[in-house]
Structures are given as structure tokens and as C-alpha cells.
Amino acid sequence: MEISIHKQKMELIQWLTTLNDEAIIQRLIDLRNNHLKDWWKDLSNAEIESIEKGIKDANNGNLVSHAEARKIYEKHL
């Protein structure tokens, strides 16, 4: 039987209140901060330009179907 997410969260809260290991607490803080981090800010200019070009192409209807893309890139998969 699968434990509900609410029960899992409550178990984590209970565990966290008894935790004294500063290294684990710091790892949890780091995990939370990385989860909230805006990954867009870490992209290079080339990556941003590539994504923006892809969005522009999609908005202009310049698209390739999934099946066609698989044929083109099959040898790399």
C-alpha cells in the first residue's frame, strides 16, 4: 500500500525536528535552494539564443513532426 504524500511529508517534518546533523541539514537547505533556482539564469548566451530561435520557429509554424524528427536523428538515438 502506497503511503500518501501528506503522511510522507509529516514523517519528514517529524524526522527533521529531531535531526542534529548539521551536514544533512545543510544538504537539505542546498537541495531546497537548487529546487527554487531559476535555471534560465545559468544558460549560456548561445543556449538562450537557440531556445529563442526554436520558439520563433514554432510560432512561425516551422515545425517537424515527431516521426520525421526520429527519422532524421534515429542514428543518434
- pLDDT value, residue 40: 87
Amino acid in position 30: D
More confident of the two residues 39 and 14:
14
Which runs of consecutive H residues, i.e. helices, occur in the chain? 5-18, 22-36, 45-59, 66-73
Domain boundaries, the chain: 1-37, 43-77
Per-residue pLDDT, 77: 78
pLDDT band with cut points at 50, 70 and 90 for residue 38: confident
Enter the C-alpha cell of residue 77: 538515438
Q: Decide if 35 contacts 27 (C-beta within 8 A).
A: no
pLDDT for position 1? 54
**Number of residues that make up the chain:** 77
pLDDT, average across residues 18-32:
94
Mean pLDDT of 16-42: 91
Asked if residues 25 and 19 have their Cβ atoms less than 8 Å apart, the reply is yes
